[in-house]
Structures are given as structure tokens and as C-alpha cells.
């Protein structure tokens, strides 16, 4: 027996028992990683569900659209139908969770033809109406959050290997902003962020899974694009993320054509073109122009003059709402510095370094496109706006931030060449995620009970009054004119 084992070692082959033991440990670690990711999502759900939700102005607007859709009104309503909708919400029994806040309809606009529609982008009601119909609207953002976690898990695991998926999901779920907006059942903020995370992870898997069949990679990549397109339909400004995804795929096809499955580019870009055409037609038929929305001209504005004030007020709110941006920035800086150092050394960077740099660059483009756009948003360029009111515009980037933070947690112990690197990688990943969850829980509770209720409400009027644009509830925190 010992002679056979020695012969096997001499020929470079492991004994069967050793190979079986290694496979068993690998399977156990894979199961542990799945369990850690599931636990992270379970913590998010537990935190989000432990406090009864509250509606503010945006919530009233979306609730009215969602309830109207369950009644069969998918686009616009007549004045009589809007009045009937308000009366219907008023008649809801006090015990009904969806109606306990009153029958108000916020931020609806009257179109030139006399019909009414919410000024908010129309995508979220389509996504949330099935949950409202089933009486489980509270689970709508959590369901899309689960999709985001699935995309991040498989995308990060394909990119970073073992522990990458659990680290990315943990960081995504730990953000105070994620916890807060997963708690708001009628708000789309966590939903569009989750759809972007799911699409980013699916595209990452499709572009890196060289050993998978072309058909499988094509369809998963298509699902990634459809997911990001759905996020754009929820909030039109997410089009910058979709644009970054298109540019990244085109650049990869030109620089490394083998990374894009044959024929996939046509499907992916065809989906984007079809979606863009559909949104343009919808806006033209509904709002009177392919580039118009429910917002009146000048109501939502972006300006370079807002950059300086936003850089003065916004960063502190973002650090409070998204502590995981610190490891995300650190991971991005390390990836860039590693690439520069290897190039200056005169040698060719290894394939892992080149791949990390390419992925990091694409994720950074997605992240900074959203944050750069909202740095020019004039509504937040003033003091007196609380952390959650500010941070909600920046939430769509948390998927990209989580992936970059996961790179730091998983790869850093290997790059510094510490002894016992595998145990250290696991310990470092766990420590980073636990620390982010602790900070995220503090951030969630702090934003849940803000010291500053937000800016004063805008003028309002009642449905049916001449030139009326919105109706307002008697109260409700944090009213805002938000590009959603």
C-alpha cells in the first residue's frame, strides 16, 4: 500500500484518498460560501422587516400607480378615475398595511389631453403590481434584492474565485442605504439598484466564463442587459449604467474578441436598441415627445454649477449611508496601482492582473457614471438635506462598489504574501463584511430616525382644481422633487 502511494507521488499523482479529501474540502467550502451569502441576505431581510414601513411623498405617488395598475389602469387615468382611486384608497380598512397612511395621491400630472399619470418614471409599478395583487408588496424590493444577490454571487465567484461571491453579497446587503430602501415597500430605489447588480453580475459571468458554451453565455449576458434595461425603465438616469455596459462589451470585443461569444453581440445590442425604441415610443405617446417625461420643464435640473456645493455637502452623507464605499475605493485604488507598478517594472502583467484591471475599469465606469451625474444635480446642492434624501440617488452604484470591495477582501491577503493565505483570506473577508454590517446597521437606525426631516414641501393642490399638478397628504417626511 505504501509502495503504491510512493509510486503515485513519484509520478506526480496524488493518492486517491488525498484527492477525495481535497474534493470533499472544496465541496464543504463551496457550501459554506453559499450559506454565508444566504445569511447575509437573511440579515438584510430581517432588518428591513422588523420595522413597519412609512410612506412619504414619493411613496404615495408610487402606491397610487401600483394600486391603479392592479385595477386595470396600466397607463393614464381620467380625472374621474383618479378621484375614484383616491376614494378607493380612503375606503381601505385601517388594518390594511397598504392603506393605513391615507388616500393621498402625490406628484401626479395632468397631460395635455386631460388625463392623469404619475410624474415618476413608469417602470416600477409594472414590477411591483404583481406583489400588490397578491398582497405581499412588502416583499417586492426583497425579491429584486435576491436577484441582485444571485447575480453578484455568481459574477464575483467567476471573477474572484472562492469566497468572492459571499464577500460581494455581504457587502451589497450591509449598506445602510440598502437596508433602508429595502425597508420601503413602495419605493423603487432598492429595486433598480438590485436590477443593476443582477445585470452586472450576469454580464461579468458571461464575459469571463470561457469554458461555458456560447449559447449559455449569450443568454445569460442577454438576461444581464435586460436586467439593466429594466432598471433604466424604473429610473431613466440609469441609462448611464446601460451605456457603460455597452461600451465595455464593445471594447472587449475589439481588444479580445474571444471573450465575447459568437453572435452574442447582435443579441445584446439588439436588446438595447429595442428597449430604447420602446421607451422613446412610450414617452412620445404618453408625454408628447420621445425625450420627455412626467416632469415639467425645469423641475429636475442638472448643472455643472452644482458640482462644488455637492462636493461640499454630499460626501459625508454617502459615507454615512454607504460605509462599504471605503473598501470599494481601496480595492479600485489597489487594482490600478498594481497595474501601474507591473508596467513600470518593465514586464508584462500577468493574465490575472490584466483581467482585474479590465473588470475594475468597467465597474469604476458604472459607479462613477451614476455618481458623476448626480454630482451635478441641483436639488441636493444645498445644506439641510438629510443623509437618506441625498444618498438615494447614488444607491444604483452599490453593486459595482460591492464587487470592488470583494476584490479587496479576497485578493489582498494573497497579494501581500502572508503565511497561511487561504485562512487569512477567509478571515479577512468575514471581518470586512461583519464590520460593514455593523456600520450599516448603525447607519440604517440613524437614517430611520433623522434629526433633520428634510427640505420643506413644495406647493400643492387637489385633483380637479384648475391647473393642478399634484395632491399632497397631510404630512409625510422628506418630500422632494426627485428624478425617478
Q: Quick check: is 120 in a domain?
A: no
For residues 438 and 475, which has the higher predicted lDDT (pLDDT)? 438
Q: Which three cell numbers stand for residue 125?
A: 409599478
Q: Quick check: is 281 in a domain?
A: yes
Among the ranges given (281-285, 289-293, 343-347, 433-437), the one the predictor scored with the smallest mean pLDDT: 343-347
Flag whether pLDDT at 479 surpasses 60: no
> Mean pLDDT score of the chain, rounded to an integer?
82
Rounded to an integer, the average pLDDT of 210-231 is 95
Flag whether pLDDT at 192 surpasses 80: yes
Flag whether pLDDT at 179 surpasses 60: yes
Q: Quick check: is 89 in a domain?
A: no
Among the ranges given (33-37, 44-48, 442-446, 458-462), the one the predictor scored with the smallest mean pLDDT: 458-462
Q: What is the pLDDT of residue 414?
A: 66
Distance of CA 76 to the CA centre of its chain: 28
62-116 tens-digit pLDDT: 989 999 999 888 888 998 888 888 888 765 544 444 443 344 677 888 888 888 8
Q: Quick check: is 82 in a domain?
A: no
Q: Quick check: is 474 in a domain?
A: no
Residue 346: Cβ within 10 Å count: 6
Residue 116, SS3?
Answer: strand
Rounded to an integer, the average pLDDT of 288-300 is 84
Burial 369-385, CB ≥16 within 10 A → b, else e: bbbebbbbbebbbeeeb
Among the ranges given (1-15, 188-202, 214-228), the one the predictor scored with the smallest mean pLDDT: 1-15
Q: What is the pLDDT of residue 425?
A: 64
Number of domains in the chain: 1
Q: What is the pLDDT of residue 460?
A: 39
**Percent of the chain scoring above 70 in pLDDT:** 80
Flag whether pLDDT at 7 surpasses 60: no
Among the ranges given (87-91, 187-191, 364-368), the one the predictor scored with the smallest mean pLDDT: 87-91
For residues 404 and 15, which has the higher predicted lDDT (pLDDT)? 404
User: With bands split at pLDDT 50, 70 and 90, how would you rate the model's confidence at 430?
Assistant: confident
Flag whether pLDDT at 317 surpasses 80: yes
Flag whether pLDDT at 14 surpasses 80: no
Q: What is the pLDDT of residue 348?
A: 56
Residue 481 burial (10 A CB sphere; 0-12, 13-18, 19+):
middle
Q: Quick check: is 436 in a domain?
A: no
DSSP string over 294-308: SSPTTSS-B-GGGHH
Q: Quick check: is 97 in a domain?
A: no
Calculate Rg over the CA atoms of the chain. 24
Tell me the pTM: 0.85
Q: Which residues pair with 377 in a beta bridge?
A: 302
- CA angle, 358 as apex, 354 and 363 as ends, to 5°? 145
Q: Quick check: is 62 in a domain?
A: no
CB 229 within 8 A of CB 272: yes
User: With bands split at pLDDT 50, 70 and 90, how would you rate the model's confidence at 475?
Assistant: very low
Q: What is the pLDDT of residue 97?
A: 43
Among the ranges given (9-23, 54-68, 323-337, 422-436), the one the predictor scored with the smallest mean pLDDT: 9-23
Rounded to an integer, the average pLDDT of 275-283 is 94
- Measured between alpha carbons, how far is residue 9 from residues 26, 180, 200 in Å? 21, 56, 44
For residue 409, the enclosing domain spans: 32-54+138-419
- CA angle, 218 as apex, 213 and 220 as ends, to 5°? 100
Q: Which three cell numbers stand for residue 190?
A: 432598492
Amino acid at each position: 500500500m505504501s509502495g503504491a502511494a510512493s509510486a503515485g507521488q513519484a509520478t506526480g499523482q496524488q493518492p486517491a484518498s488525498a484527492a477525495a479529501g481535497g474534493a470533499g474540502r472544496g465541496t464543504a467550502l463551496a457550501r459554506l460560501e453559499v450559506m454565508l451569502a444566504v445569511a447575509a441576505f437573511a440579515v438584510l431581510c430581517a432588518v428591513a422587516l422588523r420595522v413597519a414601513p412609512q410612506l412619504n411623498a414619493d411613496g404615495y405617488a408610487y402606491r397610487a400607480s401600483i394600486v391603479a395598475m392592479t385595477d386595470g389602469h396600466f397607463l393614464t387615468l381620467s380625472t374621474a378615475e383618479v378621484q375614484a382611486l383616491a376614494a378607493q384608497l380612503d375606503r381601505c380598512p385601517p388594518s390594511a398595511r397598504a392603506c393605513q397612511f391615507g388616500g393621498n395621491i402625490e406628484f401626479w400630472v395632468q397631460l395635455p389631453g386631460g388625463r392623469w399619470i404619475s410624474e415618476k418614471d413608469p417602470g416600477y409599478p409594472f414590477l411591483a403590481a404583481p406583489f400588490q395583487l397578491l398582497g405581499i408588496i412588502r416583499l417586492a424590493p426583497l425579491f429584486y434584492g435576491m436577484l441582485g444577490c444571485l447575480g453578484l454571487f455568481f459574477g464575483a465567484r467567476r471573477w474572484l474565485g472562492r469566497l468572492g461571491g459571499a464577500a460581494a453579497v455581504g457587502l451589497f446587503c450591509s449598506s445602510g442605504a440598502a437596508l433602508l430602501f429595502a425597508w420601503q415597500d413602495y419605493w423603487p430605489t432598492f429595486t433598480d439598484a438590485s436590477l443593476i447588480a443582477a445585470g452586472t453580475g450576469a454580464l461579468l459571468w458571461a464575459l469571463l466564463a470561457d469554458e461555458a458554451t456560447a449559447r449559455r453565455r449569450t443568454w445569460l449576458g442577454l438576461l444581464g442587459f435586460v436586467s439593466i434595461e429594466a432598471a433604466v425603465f424604473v429610473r431613466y438616469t440609469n441609462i448611464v449604467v446601460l451605456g457603460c455596459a455597452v461600451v465595455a462589451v464593445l471594447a472587449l470585443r475589439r481588444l479580445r474578441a474571444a471573450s465575447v461569444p459568437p453572435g452574442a453581440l447582435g443579441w445584446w445590442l439588439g436588446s438595447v436598441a429595442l428597449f430604447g425604441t420602446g421607451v422613446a415610443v412610450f414617452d412620445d405617446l404618453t408625454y408628447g415627445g420621445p425625450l420627455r417625461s412626467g416632469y415639467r420643464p425645469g423641475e429636475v435640473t442638472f448643472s455643472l454649477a452644482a458640482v462644488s456645493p455637492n462636493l461640499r455637502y454630499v460626501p459625508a452623507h454617502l459615507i454615512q449611508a454607504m460605509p462599504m464605499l471605503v473598501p470599494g475605493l481601496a480595492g479600485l485604488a489597489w487594482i490600478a496601482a498594481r497595474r501601474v507598478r507591473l508596467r513600470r517594472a518593465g514586464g508584462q502583467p500577468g493574465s490575472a492582473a490584466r483581467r482585474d484591471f479590465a473588470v475594475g475599469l468597467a465597474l469604476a465606469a458604472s459607479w462613477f457614471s451614476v455618481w458623476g451625474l448626480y454630482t451635478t444635480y441641483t436639488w441636493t446642492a444645498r445644506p439641510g438635506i438629510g443623509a437618506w434624501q441625498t444618498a438615494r440617488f447614488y444607491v444604483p452604484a452599490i453593486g459595482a462598489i460591492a464587487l470592488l470591495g470583494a476584490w479587496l477582501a479576497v485578493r489582498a491577503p494573497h497579494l501581500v504574501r502572508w503565511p497561511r493565505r487561504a485562512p487569512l483570506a477567509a478571515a479577512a473577508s468575514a471581518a470586512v463584511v461583519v464590520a460593514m454590517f455593523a456600520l450599516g446597521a448603525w447607519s440604517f437606525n440613524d437614517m430611520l430616525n433623522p434629526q433633520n426631516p428634510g427640505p420643506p414641501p413644495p406647493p400643492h393642490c387637489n385633483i380637479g382644481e384648475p391647473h393642478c399638478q399634484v395632491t399632497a397628504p397631510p404630512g409625510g417626511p422628506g418630500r422632494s422633487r426627485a428624478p425617478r
